[in-house]
Amino acid sequence: MSSQATRLFVLGLLASEGPMHGHQLRRRAEYIDITEWADVRPGTIYGALHRMQSEGLITPVRREQEGRFPARTLYSLTEEGQIELTSLRQQALQHARVGPDPVDLGLSVAGGMSADGLGDLLENRRQEARRTLEMVRRERGRLAASGLLTAWAKAIMRHHELRLEAEVRWHTELEGVLADIAAGQPFPSEPRSDDEASRRRVVELPPPPRRAR
């Protein structure tokens, strides 16, 4: 998904603001802290530009030089690029996506831990979610007061707030089952038929060779 997200960001920016070079695109990504709310890494933008140029989605239009900096190539959207932008935008706007979270896998193999130890680790996670939630709320208020909060930014930040609020509520519910999780077993074994069990053959492996001293 990261590759598609980067393409959507680059194509969308070129469509709305006209020709730009890679450094401009990267600075804009860093300025809006895109890594914090989208699956885009600023460092991948240059590679994405080269790939999209080879695919005919963007095309170089001119080179510009500022002061002592090296000349930079500005790219523009092609007709194929506009079609790709429309497709990527539609996919992003109409499909809900909740990605895997490492905490879920951690819970699945938490059997054997003490309930208190498991609770302490999860409490750290809950506090981190609360701190992040408060930070997002403060930042939204600051941007709103300064008049810099666009309609789409307000919607995105509110979306992030609601997700973090859900994380905090989930932790509260989790407290009631920590003992059961700690006492449980990891993934259930796949059931085997009698025929399959009868076909199993145990082969003893030879001991490892001794290392010469």
Q: What is the CATH number of the domain that holds 48?
A: 1.10.10.10
Cross-strand partners of 23 = none
Per-residue confidence (pLDDT) for residue 156, from 0 to 100: 93
From the list 30, 55, 58, the residue with the least C-alpha distance to 44 is 30
Whether residue 205 lies inside any domain: the answer is no
| Domain final position from 54, 78, 94 | 94
Considering the domain architecture, whether residues 150 and 86 belong to the same structural domain is answered as no
Considering the domain architecture, whether residues 89 and 13 belong to the same structural domain is answered as yes
| Domain final position from 46, 68, 94 | 94
Distance of alpha carbon 107 from alpha carbon 186, whole angstroms: 9
pLDDT tens by residue, 1-56? 568 999 999 999 999 999 999 999 999 999 988 998 888 999 999 999 999 999 99
The residue range of the domain holding 143 is 102-183
pLDDT tens by residue, 134-185? 999 999 999 899 998 999 999 999 999 999 999 999 999 999 999 999 998 7
Considering the domain architecture, whether residues 106 and 87 belong to the same structural domain is answered as no
Cross-strand partners of 58 = 77
Using pLDDT thresholds of 50, 70 and 90, give the confidence band for residue 207: confident
Whether residue 121 lies inside any domain: the answer is yes
User: What does R_g of the chain's alpha carbons equal in angstroms?
Assistant: 26
Q: How many CB atoms neighbour CB 27 within 10 A?
A: 13
